[in-house]
Structure 1
Amino acid sequence: MMENKTKKICVVHIITGLDADESALMLYKLLAHIDRSQFEPVVISLDGEADLSNRIRAHGITVYSLDMSNNLTVGWQIFKLAHLLRSIKPDIIQGWMYHGNLATSLANLSLGNRYPLIWTVHNTLYNIRQKSRTTRWIIELTTKRSNTATRILYNTELNASQHISIGYDDQHTQIIPNGFDTQLFSPNAYRRSNSRQMLGIPEDAIVIGMFTHDFSLNDHTLFLEATHLLLQHHKNVHFLLVGQDLTPEHPSIISLLKRSPMPQNIHLLGERKDTHSLMNTLDIFSLISSSADGFPNSVIEAMACGIPCITTDIIDLPHITGHTGQTLQTSDTTPSALAFIWLEWINAGEAWRKEMGLRGMAYIQQHYNIRQITDQYQATYKELVNHGRTNGFLLPFQQTQFSRHAEKCTQNDSKSCTQGSR
């Protein structure tokens, strides 16, 4: 008896590069959890080998590194990419980041627009004038080419509305949030005790942390000034700063230290691979930023670990933290205001903080679990393969609630929404 086997859906992911930034990490998490009995993923990096290349290969997934990200519109480079796609024979092409999205569109054009095309946009658009001329040019090109995408996936409503306001196609928009491993990032008493012991932090100390990816986008100066104010009223507090460049040797930190000496209970840990353990060290998580280039993953990771969060009102954080934390107006956030809120939360007691943390954890498990998010991507792939082979693959799509946000953004805040970054 002949066995009836269903052909796997081949999805080729084309990404600007595989450095461990927010978009590349989301792609990695998606690939690590995708149902390999139904889908056959392939990754093409326009850049060279990077942090995640071999981690993806370890899952049995082919990764090509083309070293072409700086020559994206050179004809022979696009021909090279198109030739590779022709040999792979994908069912769907998915672009990631601006350069990756543009490359998918140009390569698919050279192949006669034969494949359904997904764009993935995880960037906010605040101030395009601060970006390089090349980046601004790529954004303009993707705006003009956005109607060639069968579907444009954003990870927040704000990202969608900002891009639509500068001219991105609004007929094929879908919002899929970032996903998180809520088994890895979860409350863990052993990790809490072990991390505190390694850092020399007493069990009865209050620990406040800020974990970031990009030093330039976050206000570490304000955070450190607030630590000095809080320590005047509460001595048994330790502070963890985690992220690239957050080491005592970095020039930016040295400059901060010249203005204000660093107390011994402020720990500058730099970039770490064990953030799931370090998160459990905390009693309070704070993210103090005036802008964001992508989605602040660390807030979701802290909430998943049951840590209550204080953040500024960037991206969708007011909606995400909701009644489980506190959101500060960026314009009103000062060192004294932050220190005062920290003191209030400390005085509220451990039981209150744990209750807030558990509410936040439940929300993340319900809305940001990587398995549920992966299911949303998989459902989109199946829909495009099953129903997308008509009208040049441009499917009618029911717009979600982001459309109301887009209209509000366009009418009331068009100035801020028409600015951008890569």
Structure 2
Amino acid sequence: MKIVHVISGLRVGGAETALLNLVSESREAGVRHLVISLSSADAMAERLRAAGAEVRLLGMRPGIPNPLHLVRLTQWIVAARPDIVQTWMYHADLLGGGAALLARLALRINGSGHRLALVWGIRRTEVPTVKVGVLLKLLARVCAMTSNWMPDQIICCAEAAFRTHADYGYARARMRVIHNGFDIQKFVPDATARASFLGELGLPARSILIGIVGRANPAKDYDNFLRAAALLHQRVADCHFVMIGREVDDRNEPLARSMGELGLRGACHLLGSRNNLHEIMPAFDILCLSSRTEGLPTVVGEAMACGVPCVVTDVGDTGQLVGDTGRIVPPCDSVRLAGALQEMAMLSRDQRRDLGKVARERIVQSFSIAACWQKYRDMYTMLLRAKGVTL
């Protein structure tokens, strides 16, 4: 089986990580992958190549689309002659979907008889509003209008994403949910990580490390997290807050200003973007997700795989992911978030470790990459059989 993936960009993020996981897991099955990034963002490119994928960058820039990019993308798909074109997120769904249809036409005209299936990917829980971005909202509207004839299947990363997009006008009959899979071989508990990381931060052994991982974006609601952290720090002075993500660093003036106003400067540690999360996460005593919107958050699954109990907001399918292994609170409620974090912080280290063990077992049993890839493979096979293609 050969799959061409079309994705908006290759920055470090949830969709990009999910793609990397699928490429890595399917390597031994002999599946060939070509990953095409619409933009020139390539932070994940080398990792994808190391996992066995061919990677190409289309080099689109923000602004008015250049028709030549659609032509080049179509040419790449025709040359690859894939069985599946899998697109990721709105931009790629529309542009990659259009290129896939043109590629089908070109292959039919040249008499090759080659058939391909087109699969869209929805990664957001909420349909974008004008406040999020006029262009993004327009893309989602056009995708909804064409969803009943352009893609053969539409994959949602969460039940919540399925509901909101179906209600928005996406073709419900073509939609299904496949949850993200998590790398249970890479993200594992490490009894030595905590002491090592405390030493790196220069903190005493009694410290309670609360981690949060996510880019500086309104959806992640760092304001909610910082307000909750300020409340918690007044009650449990040993808590320290480790913040990791793109633009989550000392150069982020709004974050720095908020920390200063809330009296958190000595308690917050901004590490920016890090490529070694699998080494850092096992050091956390607690992982926090303060988002106001999510699908199925990658960082929560990875933390659980590392044996770290989580305190999360009830957005997307996050509650379904965490189950009874952590604490779940409403979004945009820093008082409730602080209370849940305090409850978790006041547990003994052994009690948190026991919760973490149950959390890892939940990921291994129900949310592994292997289980995710098998669902994707079964779906691809079903679509190709419907087109008369035998693998």
The answer, yes or no, to whether TM exceeds 0.5 is yes
The answer (yes or no) to whether the contact 1:72–1:78 under 8 Å persists in 2 is: no
The reply to whether residue 305 of structure 1 matches residue 306 of structure 2 is yes
Query: Which moves more between the two structures, 316-325 or 71-80?
Result: 71-80
Query: Which moves more between the two structures, 201-210 or 308-317?
Result: 201-210
Alpha-carbon spacing, 1:240–1:68, altered in 2? closer, same or farther (3 Å)? closer
**Which of 138, 142, 158 matches 1:156?**
158
Alpha-carbon spacing, 1:80–1:356, altered in 2? closer, same or farther (3 Å)? same
Q: Secondary structure at the match of 2:240?
A: strand
Alpha-carbon spacing, 1:127–1:63, altered in 2? closer, same or farther (3 Å)? closer
Cα distance in 1 for partners of 2:45, 2:201 equals 32
Alpha-carbon spacing, 1:244–1:327, altered in 2? closer, same or farther (3 Å)? same
The reply to whether residue 28 of structure 1 matches residue 20 of structure 2 is yes
Alpha-carbon spacing, 1:199–1:82, altered in 2? closer, same or farther (3 Å)? same
Alpha-carbon spacing, 1:235–1:28, altered in 2? closer, same or farther (3 Å)? same
Cα distance in 1 for partners of 2:233, 2:99 equals 57
Q: Secondary structure at the match of 2:11?
A: coil
**Which of 254, 257, 269 matches 2:256?**
254
The reply to whether residue 318 of structure 1 matches residue 319 of structure 2 is yes
TM-aligned CA deviation for residue 307 of structure 1: 1.3
Alpha-carbon spacing, 1:352–1:60, altered in 2? closer, same or farther (3 Å)? closer
Alpha-carbon spacing, 1:326–1:83, altered in 2? closer, same or farther (3 Å)? same
Alpha-carbon spacing, 1:65–1:175, altered in 2? closer, same or farther (3 Å)? same
The answer (yes or no) to whether the contact 1:192–1:277 under 8 Å persists in 2 is: no
Cα distance in 2 for partners of 1:74, 1:347 equals 56
- Map Cα deviations across residues 214-243 of structure 1 (whole Å, 9 max, x no partner): 342233334333334333333333221222
Cα distance in 2 for partners of 1:73, 1:256 equals 38
Alpha-carbon spacing, 1:258–1:326, altered in 2? closer, same or farther (3 Å)? closer
Residue pairs, 1:75-224, within 5 angstroms: 75-112=67-104, 114-147=115-148, 148-224=150-226
- Map Cα deviations across residues 165-184 of structure 1 (whole Å, 9 max, x no partner): 11111112221111111122
Comparing both chains, which one has the higher relative contact order based on Cα–Cα distances under 8 Å and sequence gaps of 6 or more? Answer: 1
The amino acid of 1:44's aligned partner reads I
Residue pairs, 1:223-242, within 5 angstroms: 223-242=225-244
TM-aligned CA deviation for residue 189 of structure 1: 0.7
What do you get for the CA RMSD once the two structures are aligned?
Answer: 2.3
- Map Cα deviations across residues 102-152 of structure 1 (whole Å, 9 max, x no partner): 123212332446521111111122551213332222112211221221111
The answer (yes or no) to whether the contact 2:312–2:329 under 8 Å persists in 1 is: yes
Cα distance in 2 for partners of 1:128, 1:13 equals 26
The answer (yes or no) to whether the contact 1:104–1:117 under 8 Å persists in 2 is: no
The amino acid of 1:78's aligned partner reads L
The answer (yes or no) to whether the contact 2:85–2:117 under 8 Å persists in 1 is: yes
- Map Cα deviations across residues 66-119 of structure 1 (whole Å, 9 max, x no partner): 223657865443233222222221111111111111123212332446521111
Q: Secondary structure at the match of 1:286?
A: strand
Cα distance in 2 for partners of 1:141, 1:388 equals 26
Which residue pairs with 1:11 in the alignment?
3
Residue pairs, 1:279-290, within 5 angstroms: 279-290=281-292
Which residue pairs with 1:352 in the alignment?
351
TM-aligned CA deviation for residue 49 of structure 1: 4.8
Cα distance in 2 for partners of 1:74, 1:229 equals 50
Alpha-carbon spacing, 1:245–1:62, altered in 2? closer, same or farther (3 Å)? closer
Cα distance in 2 for partners of 1:339, 1:93 equals 44
The amino acid of 2:212's aligned partner reads M
Q: TM-score, normalised by structure 1?
A: 0.83
Which residue pairs with 2:360 in the alignment?
361
Q: Is there any run of 5+ residues in structure 2 with no aligned partner, and where?
A: 106-114
Cα distance in 2 for partners of 1:313, 1:192 equals 28
Cα distance in 1 for partners of 2:38, 2:230 equals 45
TM-aligned CA deviation for residue 324 of structure 1: 1.0
The amino acid of 1:381's aligned partner reads Y
Alpha-carbon spacing, 1:71–1:39, altered in 2? closer, same or farther (3 Å)? farther
- Map Cα deviations across residues 319-348 of structure 1 (whole Å, 9 max, x no partner): 2212111111225x234x433333333333
The answer (yes or no) to whether the contact 2:241–2:269 under 8 Å persists in 1 is: yes
Query: Which moves more between the two structures, 276-285 or 218-227?
Result: 218-227
Cα distance in 1 for partners of 2:118, 2:249 equals 42
TM-aligned CA deviation for residue 12 of structure 1: 1.0
Q: Secondary structure at the match of 1:48?
A: coil
The answer (yes or no) to whether the contact 2:309–2:356 under 8 Å persists in 1 is: yes
Cα distance in 2 for partners of 1:249, 1:45 equals 28
The answer (yes or no) to whether the contact 1:71–1:77 under 8 Å persists in 2 is: no
Alpha-carbon spacing, 1:144–1:200, altered in 2? closer, same or farther (3 Å)? same
TM-aligned CA deviation for residue 263 of structure 1: 4.7
- Map Cα deviations across residues 291-339 of structure 1 (whole Å, 9 max, x no partner): 34x54221111111111111111111122212111111225x234x433
Which residue pairs with 2:369 in the alignment?
370
Q: TM-score, normalised by structure 2?
A: 0.89
Report the identity percentage. Answer: 28
Alpha-carbon spacing, 1:352–1:36, altered in 2? closer, same or farther (3 Å)? closer
Q: Is there any run of 5+ residues in structure 1 with no aligned partner, and where?
A: 1-8, 391-422
Which residue pairs with 1:268 in the alignment?
270
The answer (yes or no) to whether the contact 1:124–1:159 under 8 Å persists in 2 is: yes
The answer (yes or no) to whether the contact 1:196–1:202 under 8 Å persists in 2 is: yes
Q: Secondary structure at the match of 1:128?
A: coil
Cα distance in 2 for partners of 1:219, 1:70 equals 25
Alpha-carbon spacing, 1:74–1:244, altered in 2? closer, same or farther (3 Å)? closer
Which residue pairs with 1:340 in the alignment?
339
